[in-house]
Amino acid sequence: MDQPQNALNAARRNEDIALDLFKFVASTTGTGRPGAPSTGFTSAGSAKPEDQVNHLLELYTRCLKTVSGDGK
Q: Are 58 and 12 in contact (CB under 8 A)?
A: no
How many helices and strands in the chain, by DSSP H and E? Answer: 2, 0
Per residue in 7-63, pLDDT (tens digit) is 777 778 999 999 999 999 999 988 877 665 556 665 556 678 899 999 999 999 999
Residue 70 has pLDDT above 80, yes or no: yes
Residue 66 has pLDDT above 90, yes or no: yes
pLDDT classification of 65: cutoffs 50, 70, 90: very high
State residue 58's pLDDT score: 95
Residues 6+ apart with CB under 8 A from 25: 31, 59, 63
Indicate yes or no: pTM above 0.85. no
